[in-house]
Homo-oligomer: A and B are copies of this chain.
Amino acid sequence: LKANQKLRLSIWALTAYVLCACGTSSAQKTAGPLVRIAELEIDPAQLEAYKAALGEEIETSIRLEPGVLALYAVSLKEHPNQIRIFETYADQAAYEAHLQTSHFKKYKSETQSMVKSLKLIETDPILLGSKTGQH
């Protein structure tokens, strides 16, 4: 992408994000963002392959899906095979749409043998503060 294309893309993304943040200040709390924490343990022998597949899935989701607001993936310093993903979707419908995408299905099938355990933790957001908007 050229610089001016990147800028336009950034401004579009920022606009979408700010609009979303405004929507969540309405009275309908259930219509707010859906935030989930995924806790995974990965087969050590396949850790690098897993990270590559996860990185590709995150990059594609953020780029193609307006309702995928943030996917922050980290490994724990003291237990590198333990992965945590902090997932923020615009709403429940955005999350369900994400599960149906070809890039998500590709990630799930590619990583099936790499993931030793997966725990999904549902949360209630208190405040999601970032440089571009707060819910």
CB distance from A111 to the nearest CB of B (A): 13
**Closest chain B residue, CB of each to CB of A125:** B74
Contact, CB under 8 Å: B131 / A14: yes
Q: What copy number does this chain have within its complex?
A: 2
Q: How far is the CA of A71 from the CA of B126 in the complex (A)?
A: 10
Q: How far is the CA of A56 from the CA of B20 in the complex (A)?
A: 21
CB under 8 Å from chain B, chain A span 11-66: 11, 13-14, 16-18, 35, 37, 51, 54-55, 58-59, 61-62
Interface size on A, residues (CB 8 A): 45
> Interface-forming stretch among A76-84, A92-100, A101-109?
A76-84
Which residues does chain B contribute within 8 Å of A83, judged by CB atoms? 126
Instruction: Indicate whether A70 reaches chain B with its CB closer than 8 angstroms.
Output: yes
Main secondary structure of the interface of A (DSSP, over half): strand
Contact, CB under 8 Å: A131 / B37: no
Instruction: Indicate whether A132 reaches chain B with its CB closer than 8 angstroms.
Output: yes
Q: How far is the CA of A121 from the CA of B82 in the complex (A)?
A: 12
Contact, CB under 8 Å: B74 / A16: no
